[in-house]
Amino acid sequence: MYKSSKAKLSLLLFCILVLVGLLGGCASILPAKDGQSERVIKILIVEFGSRTPIPDMKVTIKDSESGQIIDEQLANDEGEVSISRLTSDKEYLFVPSSIYDDGTGSADGVAQLVKIADTTTYIVLETYYVRDHKGANIPVVLQNPAFPHGCEITALTAVLNFYGREVSKETMAASYLPRGEFKRTNGKWLGPDPSKKYAGDPADEHDGMYAFAPVIEAAAKKYIASEKSALKVKNLTGASQEKIIAKVQKGIPVIMWVTLDLSAPKMKTGWTIYGQQKPIRMYRNLHVVVMTGYQDGKVIVMDPLKGYVAHDDKKFFTSFTDMKSQAIVLEK
């Protein structure tokens, strides 16, 4: 009887010790919320162009849809930040605070859109570092989910926002973008000339196509006239690489036509323009971005699909040339 009681007491003490240990370490054993990652994701903050790690810089993680701040962390002396509990299969804006941030929030525009996958463990985040960098720090305006085929009007909206005009891409598309509809007649699709009107609906994943520089030029001029703004619109189509870079280094963002992955243009048979007989050859990978900076052989752009991205200058300007060197600027 004594041995049995002693055994029960020992078992009780053991259970108490295990329970205390579990409670003491509960922070490490609680499961993540549904969809959240248990793993730690490391972020390396580097300078555009040189890719030099930037120490002691704050990075803010925001929900890409709501804009809600999810987390804020300060990088260590090696430019690294560790974060956890981000939801897989969800997109976040990673916003580094520039070293030349004046406290007004103007530096918050340099952001990168990242989709967290189950395999995501490391993210390289690029930003400006030097105080005297020359470029245009325009806000990030993303085309999705509103406009799956609306990179052109989204890029223009970002530039207008840069100049202090509080207008949304939705308003720009609805009220200022020249648009033409598609129509099925006698077994063929008829549509507008993309150098005169946006073809289709940028909000429609199946019906939206694209527009060339003169259409965005017209949209910008219509908006500026309605606001009685002092901004001026210039069509820089045909401009050289040197002229484009010179504009950007004066702090003037340039809207540019390239391809989605900077590869060669992909073409296929498209619609027939109203009044013509033969269908056009249409682009399958046209894209529009805003060039905001140039540093160490890297072109820095605000991409309506991704946020801020750096590209090799030769590859970028080859794509620009392939797309007929189309470009638009707004200037004061």
Query: What are the residue ranges spanned by the domains of the chain?
Result: 40-127, 151-331
The three-class DSSP label of residue 155 is helix
Of 31-35, 50-54, 235-239, give the range with the top mean pLDDT.
235-239
For position 236, what pLDDT does the model report? 98
Tokens (6 digits) for 162: 């840069």
Which residues touch 147 (CB under 8 Å, ≥6 apart)? 153, 154, 169, 173, 202, 203, 208
Tokens (6 digits) for 83: 């974060």
Domain 40-127 has CATH 1.20.1260.10: no
For position 5, what pLDDT does the model report? 53
Task: Average the pLDDT over 95-105 and give the result.
Answer: 54
Q: 262-288, pLDDT tens digit by residue?
A: 999 999 999 999 999 999 999 999 999
Helix (H) or strand (E) holding 265: none
Flag whether pLDDT at 9 surpasses 90: no
Protein fold of 151-331: Cathepsin B; Chain A (3.90.70)
Nearest C-alpha neighbor of 48 from the set 127, 133, 113: 127
For position 65, what pLDDT does the model report? 84
* DSSP for 279-318, written as a single string: --EEESSEEEEEEEEEETTEEEEEETTTEEEEEEHHHHHH
Nearest C-alpha neighbor of 309 from the set 332, 290, 323, 328: 290
Q: 36-57, pLDDT tens digit by residue?
A: 445 789 888 888 767 788 888 8
Is residue 116 within 8 A of residue 87, CB to CB? The reply is yes
* Cα–Cα distance for residue pair 277/293, rounded to 1 Å: 43
* Cβ burial, residue 58 (10 Å; 0-12/13-18/19+): middle
Q: 53-69, pLDDT tens digit by residue?
A: 888 888 889 888 888 88
Binned at pLDDT 50, 70 and 90, residue 314 comes out as: very high
For position 74, what pLDDT does the model report? 87
How much is the pTM? Answer: 0.75
Lowest mean pLDDT among 75-89, 147-161, 232-246: 75-89
Task: Average the pLDDT over 115-121 and give the result.
Answer: 89
Percent of the chain with pLDDT over 70: 83
For position 146, what pLDDT does the model report? 96
For position 240, what pLDDT does the model report? 97
**Mean pLDDT over each residue of the chain, to the nearest integer:** 85
Task: Average the pLDDT over 205-217 and give the result.
Answer: 96
Flag whether pLDDT at 129 surpasses 60: yes
For position 292, what pLDDT does the model report? 93
Task: Average the pLDDT over 123-134 and give the result.
Answer: 69
For position 135, what pLDDT does the model report? 67
Q: Give the torsion through C-alpha atoms of 225, 226, 227, 232, to 10 deg.
A: -20
The three-class DSSP label of residue 9 is helix
Query: Which one is predicted more confidently, 19 or 74?
Result: 74
